[in-house]
Amino acid sequence: MAAGDLVLITGASGHVGFRVLVFALQAGYRARVAVRSQAKADDILATASIKALNSGSNISFVIVPDILAEGAYDDAVQGVTYVIHCASPLTTNITEDFENKIIRPALRGTTGILESATKTAGIKRVVITSSIVATMPVTEMFAESGTVFDGQMKVPFNPGPYQAAFDAYCDSKVRALAATHDFVAQKSPEFEVINIMPSFVFGKNELVTRVDDFAKGTNHLVFNQILGVKNQLPLPGNTVYLDDVATVHVRSLDPSIPGNQDYLATSGGVEGNVFSDAIDIVNKNFPDAVKQGILPNNGTQPTSKCLADASRTEKVFGFTFTGLEKQVTELAQNYLDLVAAKG
């Protein structure tokens, strides 16, 4: 990395994208952040991490109001050396019209930024936030079949209609990954492309400033049981620490990391984690909050054992993914801090 190289980051108003922005600034990059509105930029600038890192010249913003528009990112990519594309719709509060609210934004956002990147010279790498679900059939997530997934499986498209938002989300990631592979194969761009495939991402979301909004994003999947929610539907025990996901994204800009590759990001070894272990973790680390009822810690979240092997990623990047205990304790402390701030 040359000192002060400029990287375009999309999705920085989201859980993963914001942490990627923080880590990119900490690593010495200059960041141009694509947001949909000035209000999103203001929210990012108001955070403690960005205030501490903002030198006045190392972060700028570009408004991209409609990522579906032709050439939406054409202006945003001008003059950058790298692109980290984290923007993609989640399933929160989406109950209908999955094609237009999930599939098209995910697919067009990815292909659009790749197309824009080919229109300007000097871009070396594009890093894309994919997902473990892009390389793992939905049925296998709950089947406990014993198949080990390593991020290399080609998953067929779901022809629809989608039964739920999660089905559409999974298919959006499958289609975006396939489109990325096709783009590289057919266009042979001057830049390299890396796909990062996280499992369920847990970690403090600094953009959440009210305890009432704590359940935004994926954090609620592990933390609802801490708040007393009794969920009967098993979830795959594949989880990953937010900071590790951000680290892998930013480190992927380093030319020593092999390009045109897909990297799985998940913790707990091949067998993953067990969601109910979070109850013991909270009892051990926050006994007073449990006794006082601030953390009821009496819910349930069953786990389905879905085998995933991220050892290749760990070897390439030179670290071991952080376990469930750190993921849960960070969330619990974050929750207690928000409760205290609310008074």
Coil vs helix vs strand at 283: helix
Query: What's the start-to-end Cα distance of the chain, in Å?
Result: 45
Structure tokens at 226: 């801490």
- Give the pLDDT score at 3: 62
pLDDT of residue 2: 61
For the residues 164-179, what does the mean pLDDT come to?
94
Q: What is the pLDDT of residue 93?
A: 73
User: What secondary structure does DSSP assign to 111-141, as a single string?
Assistant: HHHHHHHTTSS---EEEEE--GGGGS-HHHH
Predicted local distance difference test score (pLDDT) of residue 149: 95
Residues comprising the chain, all counted: 343
pLDDT at 215: 79
| CB contact at 8 A, 224 and 299 | yes
Q: Which residues have a Cβ under 8 Å from the Cβ of 134 and sit 6 or more positions away? A: 155, 170, 173, 174, 176, 177, 195, 197
Burial 206-224 (b: 16+ CB within 10 A, else e): bbbeebeebbbbbbbbbbb
Tens of pLDDT along 46-93?
999 999 999 999 999 999 999 999 999 999 999 999 999 999 887 777
Residue 319, pLDDT above cutoff 80: yes
- Is residue 224 left, alpha or beta, with left meaning phi > 0 and alpha meaning psi from -120 to 50? alpha
Long-range contacts of 318-321 (CB under 8 A, 24+ apart): 319/244, 319/247, 321/240, 321/241, 321/244, 321/265, 321/266, 321/267, 321/268
Look at residue 88 in the predicted model and tell me its pLDDT: 86
Q: How high is the pLDDT of residue 186?
A: 97
Check if the beta carbon of residue 239 is closer than 8 Å to that of residue 218. no
At 289 the pLDDT is 98
The pLDDT of 160-173, averaged and rounded, is 91
Cβ-contact 221, 324 below 8 angstroms: no
pTM passes above 0.95: yes
Q: List, as one string, the DSSP characters of 48-93.
A: HHHHHH--SSSEEEEE-S-TTSTTTTTTTTTT-SEEEE------TT
pLDDT of 228 > 90? The answer is yes
Strands 192-198 and 261-265, by their bridges, are parallel
Cα 204 from Cα 338, distance rounded (Å): 11
Give residue 343's pLDDT band: very low, low, confident or very high (50, 70, 90).
low
Residue 306, both tokens: 């879905």
**What per-residue confidence (pLDDT) applies to 239?**
98
Mean pLDDT of 236-243: 97
- Mean pLDDT of the 113-133 span: 97
Asked if 263 and 313 touch (Cβ cutoff 8 Å), the reply is yes
Least confident of 104-118, 213-227, 261-275: 213-227
Sequence-ordered list of residues with C-beta below 8 angstroms from that of 115, at least 6 positions apart, any chain: 71
Rounded distance between C-alpha atoms, residue 50 and residue 96, angstroms = 36
Averaged confidence pLDDT in the chain:
95
Is it the case that residue 278 has pLDDT exceeding 90?
yes
What's residue 1's pLDDT? Answer: 56
Q: What is the pLDDT of residues 176-199, one digit of tens each?
A: 999 999 999 999 999 999 999 999
User: Would you state the pLDDT for residue 100?
Assistant: 86
Structure-derived torsion over alpha carbons of residues 214, 220, 225, 228, reported in degrees to the nearest 10: 40
Percent of the chain with pLDDT over 90: 88
